[in-house]
């Protein structure tokens, strides 16, 4: 047997955390649809499991698989990406503590921090984490956590994870990276010094737009145990079936991501040459401000693209005119999606905050799927020409 450390990502995606079921020989992990487990005697559970909020074998497969893919010690799965981020906050900050957060993180993350955590006395500073000096200036002696996203949504800014980790650690703070956009196939933050990775497994990891889920993976077992304890203490865990769907989705993560990257590269280059697309944001384009960093830090540029068509009216017309690209929020599925962030995914972000990060009313975001890229380009062409 080779150990996980020796195996390649593609092999781990399919096998890590999984053995044929010892009782039936089932090659695929069973869906253990149970809430409780029999005990041999008082306080002596037969298979090590007691109650399914605490542990469920199907969920454990997902957790061990994610830990292997991210190169971490411990994985913990949650019922949504936001439940995962909330669990991380619960184990890293107390009332009176300070958190530094990327200024264009997922809108729901910022909303949770603002609507829930500020009421419990946690203080937040939002900063452009692609600028190391700005990040350094935002840290305080009471900063416990730095939370970043790279690439950001929808501006596709890249932060240097290694530099962010150094800056956070110099003040005794932890660095957490929301790795939803890149996935561990393209970027492994723990190897670059981050302490924690969080995911919305709803997106690329599951990859089929049929599950809401989340996960936390930690570098250190001690922090990982505290996150696992949060599952027991606060709940927020995914169902066995949802866990199983994500496990199944991850088995094709590497092939899907390769195709997402390939298709997005073709479309980004097409858009860059189209007169209606005034500005194309994709880290794979040579004129992207952090293109060199993206090349170093990531093994591919991902499937997300944003581009500006100059006005809200035109953005609405383009987004409503595509045939293959479905007009919808979310991302990371095999099917292509189109949306207008200012009026959809980022409508809860204030106009002032949108302006600060350059999120204009004419910006369109694409989640490029794995259909034939010729069809996708033709679809965008007819939508742009009609606009
Ligand atoms: C979707 C998303 C989340 C939230 O995840 P849910 O599963 O919807 O709760 C967090 N971060 C990023 C980057 C996301 O795209």
**Cβ(81) to ligand 1 under 6 A?**
yes
Catalytic residue among 97, 128, 160, 178: 178
| N-terminal to C-terminal alpha carbon distance within the chain | 58
Tens of pLDDT, residue by residue over 57-72, are 999 999 999 999 999 9
Instruction: Please tell me if the domain spanning 4-250 has the same topology as the one spanning 253-386.
Output: no
* Domain locations in the chain as residue ranges: 4-250, 253-386
The CATH number assigned to the domain with range 253-386 reads 3.90.1150.10
pTM of the model: 0.96
Ligand 1 centroid from CA 346, angstroms: 12
Tell me the mean pLDDT in the region 350-362.
Answer: 92
**Average pLDDT for the chain:** 96
Tell how far the Cα of 252 is from the centroid of ligand 1, in angstroms: 20
Averaged pLDDT for residues 210-214: 98
The single residue listed with the structure tokens 């450390």 is: 5
Per-residue confidence band for 104, with pLDDT thresholds at 50, 70 and 90:
confident
Instruction: Report the C-alpha dihedral over residues 286, 290, 295, 301, rounded to 10 degrees.
Output: -80
Is 111 a residue whose pLDDT tops 70? Answer: yes
What is the residue with the minimal CA distance to atom 5 of ligand 1? Answer: 81
- For residue 326 the two structure tokens come to 């479905």
CATH top-level class for 4-250?
A: alpha beta
44 C-alpha to ligand 1 centroid (Å): 39
Active site residue 356: no
Is 180 near ligand 1, meaning CB less than 6 Å away?
Answer: yes
The ligand 1 atom at the shortest distance from the C-alpha of residue 105 is 13
Is 279 an active-site residue? no
Distance (Å) from CA 106 to ligand 1 centroid: 7
Catalytic residue among 53, 191, 295, 317: 53
pLDDT at residue 235, as a whole number: 96
Each residue's pLDDT tens digit, 214-265: 999 999 999 999 999 999 999 999 999 999 999 999 999 999 999 999 999 9
d(CA 62, CA 49): 16
């Amino acid at each position: 047997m080779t150990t996980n450390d020796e195996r390649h990502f593609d092999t781990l995606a399919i096998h890590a955390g999984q053995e044929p079921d010892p009782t039936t020989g089932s090659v695929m992990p069973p869906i253990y649809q149970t809430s409780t487990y029999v005990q041999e005697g008082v306080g002596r559970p037969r298979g090590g499991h007691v109650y399914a909020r605490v542990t469920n074998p199907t969920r454990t497969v997902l957790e061990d698989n994610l830990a292997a893919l991210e190169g971490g010690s411990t994985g913990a799965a949650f019922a949504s990406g936001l439940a995962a981020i909330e669990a991380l906050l619960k184990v890293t900050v107390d009332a009176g503590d300070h958190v530094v957060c990327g200024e264009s993180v997922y809108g729901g993350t910022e909303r949770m921090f603002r609507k829930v955590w500020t009421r419990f006395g946690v203080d937040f500073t939002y900063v452009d984490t692609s600028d190391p000096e700005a990040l350094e200036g935002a840290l305080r002696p009471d900063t416990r956590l730095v939370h970043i996203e790279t690439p950001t949504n929808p501006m596709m800014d890249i932060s240097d994870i290694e530099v962010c980790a150094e800056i956070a650690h110099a003040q005794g703070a932890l660095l957490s990276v929301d790795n939803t956009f890149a996935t561990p196939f393209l970027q492994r933050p723990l190897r670059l010094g981050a302490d924690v990775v969080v995911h919305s497994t709803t997106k690329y990891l599951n990859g089929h737009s049929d599950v809401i889920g989340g996960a936390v993976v930690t570098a250190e077992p001690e922090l990982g145990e505290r996150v696992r304890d949060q599952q027991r203490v606060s709940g927020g865990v995914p169902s066995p079936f949802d866990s199983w769907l994500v496990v199944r989705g991850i088995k094709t993560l590497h092939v899907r991501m390769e195709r997402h990257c390939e298709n997005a590269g073709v479309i980004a280059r097409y858009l860059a040459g189209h007169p209606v697309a005034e500005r194309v944001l994709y880290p794979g384009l040579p004129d992207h401000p952090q293109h060199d960093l993206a090349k170093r830090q990531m093994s591919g540029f991902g499937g997300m693209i944003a581009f500006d068509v100059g006005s809200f009216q035109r953005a609405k017309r383009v987004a409503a005119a595509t045939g293959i690209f479905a007009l919808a929020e979310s991302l990371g599925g095999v099917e292509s999606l189109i949306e207008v962030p200012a009026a959809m995914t980022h409508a809860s972000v204030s106009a002032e905050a949108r302006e600060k990060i350059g999120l204009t009313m004419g910006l369109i975001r694409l989640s490029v799927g794995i259909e034939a890229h010729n069809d996708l380009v033709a679809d965008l062409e007819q939508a742009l020409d009609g606009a």
